[in-house]
């Protein structure tokens, strides 16, 4: 008798939790669409300075500062090849990548554009 009640209670609580999680996910998807950038990324070649700090990687070219997304860690490898050690140091480089549309990127949405690095130029 007690065993049956525990099974029913466990089943009912599982149903309530899954319903609540589904609703939360649906409302989060609606909010995410409202903040998504609307235009398409374009691929470019840029020369400029890369700075790596604790949480931020930024690239400055022609007076524009980009938040850097470097999924293959190409810029980190490039900085090690020129013996850069530590954080908060700039070095000049050339990258080929995609520039995102205007939005809010990086910590606290500080950057208006993001550069996704595809490869390093020579």
Render pLDDT for 78-101 as a digit per residue (tens, 0 to 9): 776 766 666 667 788 899 999 999
CATH code of the domain occupying 42-120: 2.40.50
Residue 68, helix vs strand vs coil? strand
Two structure tokens written together for 114? 């993001």
Q: Number of helices (H) and strands (E), helices first, in the chain?
A: 2, 5
- Which residue ranges make up each domain of the chain? 1-36, 42-120
pLDDT mean across residues, the chain = 76
Is pTM, for the whole model, over 0.75? no
β partners of residue 117: 97
- What confidence tens digit (pLDDT) does each residue in 31-82 have? 444 444 445 566 899 999 988 877 778 999 999 999 999 888 888 777 767 6
CB 47 within 8 A of CB 94: yes
Q: Is the pLDDT of residue 24 over 50?
A: no
Closest CA to 91 of 63, 46, 50: 50
Query: Can you give the pLDDT at residue 87?
Result: 63
């Amino acid at each position: 008798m007690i065993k049956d009640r525990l099974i029913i209670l466990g089943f009912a609580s599982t149903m309530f939790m899954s319903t609540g999680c589904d609703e939360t996910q649906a409302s989060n998807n609606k909010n995410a669409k409202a903040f998504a950038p609307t235009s398409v990324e374009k691929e470019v070649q840029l020369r400029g300075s890369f700075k790596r700090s604790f949480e931020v990687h930024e690239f400055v070219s022609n007076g524009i500062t980009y938040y850097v997304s470097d999924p293959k860690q190409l810029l980190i490898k490039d900085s090690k090849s020129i013996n850069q050690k530590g954080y908060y140091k700039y070095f000049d480089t050339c990258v080929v990548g995609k520039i995102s549309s205007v939005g809010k990127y990086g910590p606290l949405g500080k950057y208006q554009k993001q550069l996704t690095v595809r490869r390093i130029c020579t």
